C-alpha cells in the first residue's frame, strides 16, 4: 500500500477560537430505499450488501474543508452509497445523535486551531447528518452528550445548529428531561452488570455516533465505539472524590490495560449504534486532546460511515495507517488491549478488512498516516 506523505501537517500559531458560519441550506438529496427495520436493542449480525452479500459495508469520502455545501454533499453521498437510511430511520422515528465533545472548553485548544478542527466533532458534520435523518422522516431528533459544561454546546456551535435544525440538546450528565437516571442492564458484561444512563437513551428508536478521527493515549484509537464513553454521568464512575472524569472506567494503573477496552464494550452493549460517522476532515494525531503534549493538528480530508460500528471503526483505523486487528503491545494499541478485537470476539461486528466491503474511496487512496500516542 502506498502511504501519502504528511504534507498537510499544520503549524501551531496562537489565535482565539473560530466560530462557525452557520448560514445557508444545501438542497436535500433523495435516499435510496433500504431494507427492513433494525432492532434497537442489539447489533445486527450482518450488514446487507448488494455488492458482496454477507460483508459489512463501510463508505469513505474525501472532503477537504468544512464548507457547508461540501460537507452536506459528502455526507449525502456516503449515506446513499450505504443504501440510504430508510432501513434504520422510519417515518416518526425518535433519533439520538452523539458527537464527541471530550474535555470541554476548559481543556483549552491547540494554539491556532479551534477545538472543532482538532479534537471534537465538527458541528457541520452533525448538521449534515441531521438533514439526512430529517429527509428520512424522523419525528424527533436530539443531540446527546455528557458535556463537561453546557458552554461546550454554546461555544462549539451546537446551540446554533440545534436552533437552526429545530432539534433538542440533552446533557447526559443530567437526568433531565426525566425525573431520574435509570440503571441499564449490560448483557454479557465484562466489568459493569449495569450502568446509569439518561432514560432518553432507552426511549429513542435510533442511535447514531459521530466521532472525531483520533488516536487515544490509552485506547489506541477513539472512533464511534470509544465515543460511547460519554453516555454515562461521570460522577458515578470515579475512583477518587473530586475526579472530573470517569477514572473508574480506567481503574488503577495496573488495571487500565485490561479494564478500559472492556468497559468500551460494556457501554456499547447498553446502547448499540445504528449508524456511525467519523469526522476526519481535520483532526490531530498522537493523542485525543490538547492535554496530551504531543497532540498535533493534521488534515486527512476524509469522512467514514457505516451501519456497523466495529467495521466502521476498523476502516477508520486502517485509513489512519494502523492495523485494526493489532494486539497489545503493538501500536496503536501499545497501552491497552484492542477493543476492536474484543468487540469482534463478542459478536458485535468485524474488524477484519477482508470481511468489509469498502464503498467510494478506497482505503489506499484515503490513507493518511497518523502518529500514535507514544
Does residue 175 form part of some domain? yes
**Averaged pLDDT for residues 31-44:** 40
Task: Report the distance separating Cα 189 and Cα 185, nearest Å.
Answer: 9
Q: What's 190's domain CATH number? A: 3.40.50
Quote the CA–CA distance of 242 and 236 in Å, as a whole number.
12
Q: 42: pLDDT confidence band, cut at 50, 70 and 90?
A: low
Average pLDDT over residues 51-56: 74
Higher pLDDT: 292 or 33? It is 292
Domain-embedded: residue 315: yes
Give a yes or no: residue 338 inside a domain. Answer: yes
Predicted model pTM? 0.88
In a domain, 29, yes or no: no
Q: Which of 282, 121, 291, 93 is nearest to 204 (CA)?
A: 93
CA distance 313 to 305: 9
Distance CA 343, CA 349 (A): 7
Residue 93: what are its φ and ψ, rounded to 5°? -65, 145
Other Cβ atoms less than 10 A from the Cβ of 15: the count is 10
Q: Which cell numbers in the block locate residue 137?
A: 422522516
Distance CA 275, CA 87 (A): 11
Q: Is residue 32 part of a domain?
A: no
Q: Give a yes or no: residue 249 inside a domain.
A: yes
Residue 300, domain extent: 57-366
Per residue in 117-152, pLDDT (tens digit) is 999 999 999 999 999 999 999 999 999 999 999 999
- Give 195-232 pLDDT, tens digit per residue: 999 999 999 999 999 999 999 999 999 999 999 999 99
Residue 232 lies in a domain: yes
Point out the least confidently predicted range of 9-18, 177-186, 282-291, 315-324. 9-18
CA distances from 228 to 50, 220, 346 (A): 30, 15, 17
Residue 164 lies in a domain: yes
Cα distance between residue 250 and residue 7, in whole Å? 35
- Please tell me the total count of domains within the chain: 1
Helix (H) or strand (E) holding 358: strand 356-360
pLDDT band at 33; cut points 50, 70, 90:
very low
> What confidence tier does 242 reach under pLDDT thresholds 50, 70, 90?
confident
Q: For the chain, how long is the longest CA-to-CA vector? A: 54
Amino acid at each position: 500500500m502506498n502511504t501519502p506523505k504528511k504534507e498537510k501537517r499544520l503549524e501551531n500559531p496562537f489565535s482565539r477560537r473560530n466560530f462557525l458560519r452557520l448560514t445557508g441550506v444545501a438542497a436535500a438529496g433523495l435516499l435510496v430505499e433500504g431494507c427492513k427495520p433494525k432492532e434497537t436493542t442489539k447489533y445486527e449480525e450482518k450488514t446487507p450488501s448488494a455488492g458482496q452479500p454477507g460483508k459489512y459495508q463501510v463508505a469513505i469520502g474525501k472532503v477537504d474543508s468544512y464548507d457547508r455545501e461540501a460537507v452536506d454533499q459528502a455526507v449525502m453521498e456516503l449515506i446513499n452509497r450505504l443504501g440510504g437510511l430508510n432501513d434504520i430511520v422510519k417515518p416518526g422515528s425518535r433519533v439520538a445523535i452523539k458527537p464527541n465533545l471530550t474535555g470541554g472548553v476548559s481543556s483549552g485548544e491547540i494554539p491556532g486551531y479551534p477545538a472543532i478542527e482538532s479534537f471534537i466533532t465538527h458541528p457541520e458534520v452533525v448538521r449534515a447528518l441531521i438533514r439526512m435523518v430529517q429527509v428520512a422522516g424522523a419525528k424527533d431528533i436530539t443531540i446527546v452528550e455528557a458535556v463537561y459544561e453546557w458552554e461546550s454546546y454554546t461555544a462549539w456551535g451546537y446551540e446554533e445548529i440545534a436552533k437552526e435544525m429545530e432539534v433538542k440538546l440533552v446533557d447526559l450528565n443530567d437526568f433531565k428531561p426525566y425525573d431520574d437516571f435509570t440503571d441499564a442492564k449490560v448483557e454479557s458484561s465484562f466489568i459493569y452488570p449495569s450502568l446509569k444512563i439518561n432514560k432518553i437513551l432507552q426511549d429513542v428508536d435510533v442511535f447514531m455516533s459521530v466521532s472525531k478521527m483520533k488516536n487515544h493515549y490509552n485506547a489506541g484509537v477513539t472512533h464511534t465505539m470509544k465515543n460511547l464513553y460519554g453516555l454515562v454521568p461521570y460522577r458515578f464512575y470515579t475512583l477518587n472524590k473530586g475526579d472530573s472524569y470517569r477514572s473508574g472506567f480506567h481503574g488503577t494503573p495496573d488495571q487500565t490495560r485490561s479494564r478500559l477496552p472492556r468497559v468500551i464494550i460494556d457501554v456499547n452493549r447498553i446502547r448499540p449504534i445504528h449508524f456511525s460517522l467519523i469526522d476526519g476532515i481535520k483532526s490531530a494525531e498522537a493523542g485525543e486532546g490538547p492535554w496530551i503534549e504531543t497532540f498535533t493538528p493534521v488534515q486527512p480530508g476524509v469522512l467514514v460511515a457505516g451501519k456497523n460500528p466495529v467495521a466502521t471503526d476498523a476502516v477508520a483505523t486502517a485509513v489512519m495507517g494502523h492495523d485494526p486487528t493489532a494486539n497489545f503491545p503493538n501500536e496503536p494499541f501499545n497501552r491497552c488491549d484492542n477493543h476492536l478485537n474484543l468487540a469482534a470476539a463478542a459478536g458485535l461486528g468485524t474488524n477484519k478488512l477482508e470481511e468489509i466491503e469498502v464503498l467510494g474511496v478506497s482505503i489506499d487512496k484515503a490513507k493518511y498516516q497518523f502518529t500514535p500516542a507514544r
